[in-house]
């Protein structure tokens, strides 16, 4: 989820729409892992999908969001990706 165009890497993201981000993540992960019934091409890791896009002070910043923002904006894409 990208809300600040000054981030500098916004072109690597589908934006701030939770539904679009969820669909993007699902397609990206499926493409990476493949569709073989027994083997994965690679194993996707949802490392920074929820509430993380800080470029400076990464090791010391705590991302603080409201419970509503977490549930409405950030978790839908993460949850959809995990349920693949």
pLDDT digits (tens, 9 = 90+) for 42-76: 988 876 656 665 566 666 666 778 899 889 988 88
How high is the pLDDT of residue 60?
67
Q: Is the pLDDT of residue 6 over 80?
A: no
pLDDT band, residue 41 (cuts 50/70/90): very high
Helix (H) or strand (E) holding 78: helix 75-82
Enumerate residues 6+ apart whose C-beta is below 8 A from 55. 7, 8, 9
Q: Is the pLDDT of residue 9 over 80?
A: no
Cα separation values, 34 from 7, 23, 51, 60, Å? 31, 16, 27, 36
Q: Is the pLDDT of residue 30 over 60?
A: yes
């Amino acid at each position: 989820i990208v809300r600040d165009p000054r981030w500098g890497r916004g072109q690597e993201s589908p934006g701030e729409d939770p539904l679009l981000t969820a669909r993007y993540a699902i397609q990206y992960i499926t493409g990476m892992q493949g569709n073989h019934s027994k083997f994965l091409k690679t194993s996707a890791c949802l490392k920074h999908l929820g509430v993380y896009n800080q470029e400076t002070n990464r090791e010391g910043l705590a991302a603080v969001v409201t419970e509503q923002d977490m549930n409405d904006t950030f978790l839908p894409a993460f949850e959809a990706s995990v349920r693949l």
